[in-house]
Amino acid sequence: MIRYVPKAKYSYSAGQAQSVFLNGLKEKKILGTVCNKCKKVYVPPKMYCEECFKPTDGWVELKDEGIVHTAIASFVSWTRDRLEEPIISGTIKLYGSERDYVFPGMFHRICTTYDKVRDMSIIGAKVKAVWNEKRVGSIEDIQCFKEV
């Protein structure tokens, strides 16, 4: 058996739309782009409307709150080590009605208890972003989404 340790380092470009989004987080703002033709709102923002295949038309600011679409509690780390305290995360629907198949949504940690994930009471609950004191223009500027 031959053992090898790869070392690959990257500098990922956030590009124009995501950079504006990340810089917005620094100011406690959740920014999205909107397509005037189909009215679709993109959060995280996109330069192009994927439905209409044309540039999006402008920026909109969304409230830093939404509805929990789904939630999970992870007892394993990314290397599959066992965690004592679960990491709770999920997707948050920022805007739209219950019946929408697509909507502006974010993936993030959710500040709640394991019990509320288990009994599903957190799904469908209203949550609000908890912002970090120190913000640098990263998805981590939001600590989590917490129930209101």
Rule CB under 8 A: say whether 40 interacts with another protein: yes
- The SS3 assignment for 92 reads strand
Q: Which of 22, 30, 127, 129 binds another protein (CB under 8 A)?
A: 22
Rule CB under 8 A: say whether 18 interacts with another protein: yes
Query: What are the beta bridge partners of residue 91?
Result: 70, 107
The least CB distance from residue 129 to another protein, in Å, is 14
- Which residues between 69 and 88 bind another protein (CB under 8 A)? 69-80, 86-87
The least CB distance from residue 68 to another protein, in Å, is 10
Closer to Zn ion by Cβ: residue 22 or 35: 35
For the four alpha carbons of 12, 17, 23 and 28, in that order, the dihedral sign comes to: negative
Q: Provide the CB-side half-sphere exposure for 16 (13 A, CA).
A: 8
Rule CB under 8 A: say whether 66 interacts with another protein: no
Closer to another protein by Cβ: residue 15 or 130: 15
Q: Which does 49 bind (CB under 5 to 8 A by kind): another protein, Zn ion, none?
A: Zn ion
What tokens does 107 get?
Answer: 């993936």
What tokens does 59 get?
Answer: 């920026």
Closer to another protein by Cβ: residue 80 or 133: 80
The 8-class DSSP code of residue 137 comes to S
Length of the chain: 148
Rule CB under 8 A: say whether 7 interacts with another protein: yes
C-beta neighbour count of 124 within 10 angstroms: 13
